[in-house]
Amino acid sequence: MKRESIILIGFMGSGKTTVGMRLSYKIRRPVEDLDKMIERREACTISELFATKGEEYFREKETELLRELVRKKRQGILSAGGGTPMRQQNRDLLKQLGTVVYLRVRPETVYERLKWDKSRPLLQCKDPLSRIQELMESRAGAYESCADIIVDADELDLDEIQNRILRRLTK
Ligand code: S3P
């Protein structure tokens, strides 16, 4: 396998963090999660950050951090946030970091996984399923244009997702 990084993108609840951790264990490379890095730096949760400083501030932090990771030529696995690929600048930075893998799932899958979740500020609304559908529709093009590899992850278990990614990377 090429010595390059693997970047996981996809909607909230698509499995980026879990798949990232499994890949890290399997191929023995460090894993980082963009949201977790921001939480550590800002010393608060993403929800608190949205509530106190607003979404735009959070988006600036995402871009800043990506720029820094590119500058430091970071190697390993990175799980992006669900909204990270929405800025063209971020898409360029993600691609500079490594091979971008898009975990594609259906809105219903996300809803089932996250219906009780309180940690995603964008989904704390009356009708989260509609919100997921709208957001996903508006984001699909950006995810696809950024991806080197797309994995339709709804029906796959974690082993199958991991194996598909590794097979594609070693081709
Ligand atoms: C967001 C996704 C979240 C987090 C923030 C915004 C989004 O990350 O970055 O709540 O805009 O889709 P996950 O995809 O890891 O949940």
What pLDDT digit, counting tens, does each position of 111-159 carry?
999 999 999 999 999 999 999 999 999 999 999 999 999 999 999 999 9
What spacing in Å lies between the alpha carbon of 171 and ligand 1's midpoint?
31
Cβ–Cβ under 8 Å, residues 20 and 33: yes
How far apart CA 78 and CA 64 sit, in angstroms, is 15
Average pLDDT, the chain: 96
pLDDT at position 3, please?
54
What spacing in Å lies between the alpha carbon of 121 and ligand 1's midpoint?
8
Cβ–Cβ under 8 Å, residues 12 and 104: no
Whether residue 2 is predicted with pLDDT greater than 90 in this model: the reply is no
pLDDT at position 142, please?
98
How far apart CA 60 and CA 68 sit, in angstroms, is 12
Whether residue 171 is predicted with pLDDT greater than 80 in this model: the reply is no
What spacing in Å lies between the alpha carbon of 143 and ligand 1's midpoint?
13
Identify the residue whose tokens are 């500058």.
Answer: 71
Cβ–Cβ under 8 Å, residues 81 and 35: yes
Cα-only R_g, the chain: 15
pTM tops 0.85: yes
Residue nearest to atom 11 of ligand 1 (CA): 83
Give the pocket of ligand 1 (CB within 6 Å): 12, 16, 35, 46, 81-83, 120-122
